[in-house]
Structure 1
Amino acid sequence: MRRRALLATLASGTALLAGCSASDPTETDTNQSTPDGTESNSTPDEVVRLDGNQLWGASIVDLETVDRTYALSPMRYRTEDGAEVRMRFDATATADSPARLIASIQNTDKYPEQFDLDWFPPFGRSTSEPPREHHERLMGAGLRDQGSLVLAPTENHDLVDDPPEVERDADGIWRLAGETDRWLPETITLDAGEAVRGEYAVVGHPEGSGRPTGVYEFLRAGDDNDTSITVWETDAPGPDEESRFAGESVPSLAGDEGDDGDDDAGGVTWFHEADESTAAYLWPETEKTDLPAGITFQFVNHTREALGCGHWYVYKLHDGEWFDLGPYVRTADCRMVPPAGTKSWTLHAYGGGGSLPPEDGRAYPFLGGGRYAVSVGYGDESSSSAAMVELTGDPIEIVPTEDVASERDGSTVTLTNPEWSEDGEDAVTLTLTRADSAEETLIREQVMRRWHRGLRNTLAFVEEDVEEVRLRTLERYAHGPIGYDGSTRRVRVDGQAYELSASGME
């Protein structure tokens, strides 16, 4: 082991592996345990320094040899037994040398620990799995092939005496010159606070060709967040497939016009308008399917910035206008997607009142056939990204909830919610009548959402000879159809205008 000799070189100022000999003001966890259990305020020289804005995200380089960008993530991870690994790119690939990354592994425990390096990339698992697309699952562990990336230790490594040779092939890709092998020991024992450090050449398999785009994963034991290097074309980071809706013009989504009211001012990046230059986009699993269905949408970030704040919405296109299907209650938290990151969400859509198990995403019952859009609040040169899907199925009917009781007296129908009590403090009565005009239009899919259940239950009993429908319910069920500030609302549904009024609301 050459660790002590190399550390002496590092201390003398080797530029490539220079660390920080004093506490790093950009780090929040610089205190390290000493072997006697006391705390030290210095960070070991051999620990790879990560700037504050790099702790969450990816380390990214554009290769000078081929049209490829490499994004390494995460840049730091910890394990339950006290190991902390840090890594980042230190140089890109040129005609003279391959892309290089530097990494350190440190024992953050108060006692000496032995670590099995096989599960600590890049110190173990030096060869990646075959590349996969963002939306594909990792198919198996240890399936390495000619398309894999290899992290080959260089001579600037604490744990390696005889590093492998690398060479540049005719297509500009740096590759391992010989066979893949175990270059590092199987285990290492580190004292409390001790760290080792190493440099790696990021190269291809010796028998490979080209550099396919995709996600190259280096497996970690018991961890769903494997270390990965994501590869995309530098000049063409966008999707490589054409949308079935390509060339179509669609209206803007509600609230997504620019500040000057111009629909083209950058409100939404649509998947069907994206091209190879689109660095951030929303990819749909399918763009046409039959109801019921679970459709996954995945936002892809091929930029160098964390993008947010992401929240998901669903719309339906009706008579040349998008109608918002919720969610109608939206949290104010800011959700971010880091560089080279993705975020997936599943729309569970079905026509009736049953349900699909929403393991993720959100369930949307009572959707009829038609064109839908899913939007998320992530975008590069826009505030959000969206994609469309055509759902094939029958139109839905407006039907009441199962818990409402009804009785009719002439042209008036009276409905009662089982939770309603005449003496209840929050008891209200919603009354629906026909009107000559309305300020807004709702579609059936909106009426059938839980938010509008008061309107749903009254409309479901409208017949030609019914002039008035009264619903005795609770105040919280009236807020959706009436709002919080008023007692009357006029809406148009299926071409007919209605007035909905409430009595008893405070």
Structure 2
Amino acid sequence: MRRRALLTTLASGSALLAGCAAGDPTGTDPRTDTDTSTPGGTEPSPTEPTGAPDEVVELDGNALFGASVVDLETADRTYALSPMRFRTETGAEVRMRFDATATAEHPARLVASIQNVDEYPEQFDLDWLPPFGRPSSEPPREHHERLMGAGLRDEGSLVLAPTPNHDLVNDPPAVERDADGHWRLAGGIDRWLPETLTLDVGEAVRGEYAVVGHPEGSGRPTGVYEFLRPGDAADASVTVWQTSAPGPDGESRFAGESVPSIGGDGEAGLGWYHTADASSGAYLRPETERADLPAGITFQFVNHTREELGCGHWYVYKLHDGEWFDLGPYVRTAECRMVPPAGTKSWTLHAYRGGGSLPPENGRAYPFLGGGRYAVSVGYGDESSSSTAMIELTGDPIEIVPTDDVTSDRDGSTVVVTHPEWREGGDEAATLTLTRADSAGETLISEQVMRRRFRSLRNTLAFVEDGVEAVRLRTTERAAHGSIGYDGSTRRFRVDGQAYELSASGME
């Protein structure tokens, strides 16, 4: 039985910007509307072996969180190789990068090294250790498609064919250029390298590979060519896109529409999906642009540029009367998340009308959303501050109702609402009073009022009806501050065309 090495991407403290992290968001706390995302976990960078031999491949730039990218001279294609550096649990460190692009004289070439960085000699199983094992990729898939594992000898695969400049190969395969300009393997796919390799401490071997197509293939389809099968702990891949047209190949259902700016940035600065075209190197694509509530919609950001793009945090907005309204998260962490060349990041919006339950770990819960147009934005963008996509959710409007834990008592024109955490004379006790007003400079929508942050607004507005002149909410300072802020004791706002004033008492 062959031993499969567990691949883990190396962490390098110097490879990341200060205060930045490369992990995916993990969630939003629905109790506080706080982005609880944390940087992706990576192991500390181990001590570099002393006296590293000349065979070790040198890497420029961010070897951990980047890609090696070349534009082919023989075809309208760009290749992006990632990762450039990884390590196995048994102490093998692999480094690789493109050394030359494809020309009329030779195919694209990559150089790679494998080094024993453990404290004792080790024998390494090369079968699933690209590029020293697994010479043929899976057939290409689109970014949003799952790897299906169609086989190692598929006609649509890419092949890493060792060249004469390889420490472990005596009889390298021949390659040839076909009529459409693509380089291919001239013969069949074979085992050109040994099954195992034993290295002393610090010892390394080096190899050069031609990146060519399957001998029976045709053209060079765009997509992600992966060199590991489903379920492996890490992946080595070559992502291929059309150099002159790296953008999406479909048209948005909102194409041609004009939308207002978000936060004053202007439409041009947000990289809207509905204005993206084939020349757009980076874009945010929703899996669907229209859905019935409740719905779970996944958004995927794609980076077909040569640069790392960031910083990535996700936001949700609703369009109401020609203006976008922020639905959170309202508390955001400061770390910066980046997407490397050929990289993607996905995020799922779980939208539903009721309170519902928490979504899966890969999602974000947004309860109390009514029908209408929404925008999801993320802080990755090419020549812009972020990327944004619109969706249409169909469903009934949201009604403002109180939380289940409050009690109410009406005395004439006044309604007194009590939160269960309120204690008369308690240190944290506070009272909010809601009355109608003649004017207000701020507008809120029902979807905002029903968010956890504004529960004090929710628990006063829900009791406004004919004959009620004031609603008095007995609550805690913490809940009161979420609705009225920390800089004053009053707030004026408008909901559904009516202006209100909210005033606080008993707060320090």
Q: Give the TM-score, by structure 1 length.
A: 0.90
Contact 1:438 1:490 in 2 (8 A): yes
SS across alignment from 2:333: coil
Aligned-pair distance for 1:381?
Answer: 0.7
Matched, 1:208 2:217: yes
Output one character per residue of 1:1-24: Cα deviation in whole Å (capped at 9) or x when no partner: xxxxxxxxxxxxxxxxxxxxxxxx
Structure 2 counterpart of 1:350, which letter? Y
Separation in 2 of the partners of 1:443 and 1:496? 11
Aligned-pair distance for 1:143?
Answer: 5.2
Aligned-pair distance for 1:315?
Answer: 0.3
SS across alignment from 2:271: strand
Structure 1 counterpart of 2:403, which letter? T
Output one character per residue of 1:342-366: Cα deviation in whole Å (capped at 9) or x when no partner: 1111101001111352321310000
Match of 1:441 in 2: 443
Matched, 1:343 2:345: yes
- Which 4+ stretches in 1 moved above 3 angstroms? 28-31, 52-55, 141-144, 220-224
Output one character per residue of 1:115-174: Cα deviation in whole Å (capped at 9) or x when no partner: 110110000111001111111111237454111000000011111111001000011100
Within the candidate set 232, 245, 248, 2:254 is matched to 245
Task: Give the total of aligned pairs.
Answer: 466
Structure 2 counterpart of 1:505, which letter? M
Contact 1:296 1:347 in 2 (8 A): yes
Structure 1 counterpart of 2:360, which letter? P
SS across alignment from 1:336: strand
Separation in 2 of the partners of 1:312 and 1:98? 40
Match of 1:468 in 2: 470
Matched, 1:366 2:372: no
Q: Give the 3 Å change call, closer, same or farther, for CA 156–175 of structure 1 in structure 2.
A: same
SS across alignment from 2:459: helix
Contact 2:81 2:237 in 1 (8 A): yes
Match of 2:393 in 1: 391
Structure 1 counterpart of 2:336, which letter? C
Aligned-pair distance for 1:224?
Answer: 3.5
Separation in 2 of the partners of 1:427 and 1:142? 66
Separation in 1 of the partners of 2:146 and 2:230? 17
Separation in 1 of the partners of 2:468 and 2:366? 30
Between the aligned residues of both structures, percent identity stands at 82
Aligned-pair distance for 1:222?
Answer: 6.3
Aligned-pair distance for 1:383?
Answer: 0.3
Structure with more contact order per residue of length (Cα contacts < 8 Å, sep ≥ 6): 2
Separation in 1 of the partners of 2:394 and 2:412? 40
Separation in 1 of the partners of 2:46 and 2:98? 21
Contact 2:114 2:204 in 1 (8 A): yes
Match of 2:200 in 1: 191
Contact 2:63 2:85 in 1 (8 A): no
Contact 1:153 1:163 in 2 (8 A): yes
Output one character per residue of 1:177-205: Cα deviation in whole Å (capped at 9) or x when no partner: 11111111111111111111100000000
Separation in 2 of the partners of 1:276 and 1:221? 30
Matched, 1:139 2:148: yes
Q: Give the 3 Å change call, closer, same or farther, for CA 281–221 of structure 1 in structure 2.
A: closer
Match of 1:325 in 2: 327
Aligned-pair distance for 1:297?
Answer: 0.5
Output one character per residue of 1:386-442: Cα deviation in whole Å (capped at 9) or x when no partner: 001101111111111111111111111101111111122111101111111111111
Q: Give the 3 Å change call, closer, same or farther, for CA 141–478 of structure 1 in structure 2.
A: farther
Match of 1:491 in 2: 493
Contact 1:293 1:349 in 2 (8 A): yes
Contact 1:430 1:502 in 2 (8 A): yes
Aligned-pair distance for 1:287?
Answer: 0.2
SS across alignment from 2:310: coil
Q: How does 1:34-53 map to 2 (within 5 A)?
A: 40=50, 42-53=51-62
Separation in 2 of the partners of 1:363 and 1:125? 41
Separation in 2 of the partners of 1:144 and 1:288? 39
Separation in 1 of the partners of 2:368 and 2:105? 61
Q: Give the 3 Å change call, closer, same or farther, for CA 377–331 of structure 1 in structure 2.
A: same
Contact 1:30 1:43 in 2 (8 A): no
Separation in 2 of the partners of 1:350 and 1:74? 38
Within the candidate set 95, 111, 118, 1:86 is matched to 95
Q: How does 1:207-356 map to 2 (within 5 A)?
A: 207-219=216-228, 223-255=232-264, 257=265, 263=266, 266-355=268-357
Output one character per residue of 1:77-129: Cα deviation in whole Å (capped at 9) or x when no partner: 00111011000000000011000000011111111111110110000111001
Structure 2 counterpart of 1:250, which letter? V
Separation in 2 of the partners of 1:109 and 1:469? 70
Match of 1:116 in 2: 125
Aligned-pair distance for 1:54?
Answer: 3.9
Aligned-pair distance for 1:56?
Answer: 2.4
Separation in 2 of the partners of 1:477 and 1:174? 66
Structure 1 counterpart of 2:302, which letter? V
Match of 2:107 in 1: 98
Match of 1:417 in 2: 419
Matched, 1:75 2:77: no
Q: Give the 3 Å change call, closer, same or farther, for CA 430–30 of structure 1 in structure 2.
A: closer
Structure 1 counterpart of 2:172, which letter? P
Separation in 1 of the partners of 2:407 and 2:129? 63
Contact 2:136 2:152 in 1 (8 A): no
Q: Give the 3 Å change call, closer, same or farther, for CA 124–312 of structure 1 in structure 2.
A: same
Match of 1:377 in 2: 379
Aligned-pair distance for 1:283?
Answer: 0.8
Structure 1 counterpart of 2:441, which letter? E
Q: Give the 3 Å change call, closer, same or farther, for CA 493–144 of structure 1 in structure 2.
A: farther
For structure 1, list consecutive stretches of 5 or more residues without a partner in the other structure.
1-24, 33-39, 258-262
SS across alignment from 1:335: strand
Matched, 1:63 2:36: no
Aligned-pair distance for 1:29?
Answer: 6.5
Match of 2:190 in 1: 181
Separation in 1 of the partners of 2:370 and 2:149? 39
Aligned-pair distance for 1:275?
Answer: 0.4
Output one character per residue of 1:182-236: Cα deviation in whole Å (capped at 9) or x when no partner: 1111111111111111000000001111111111001179644300100001011
Contact 1:438 1:491 in 2 (8 A): yes
RMSD: 1.6
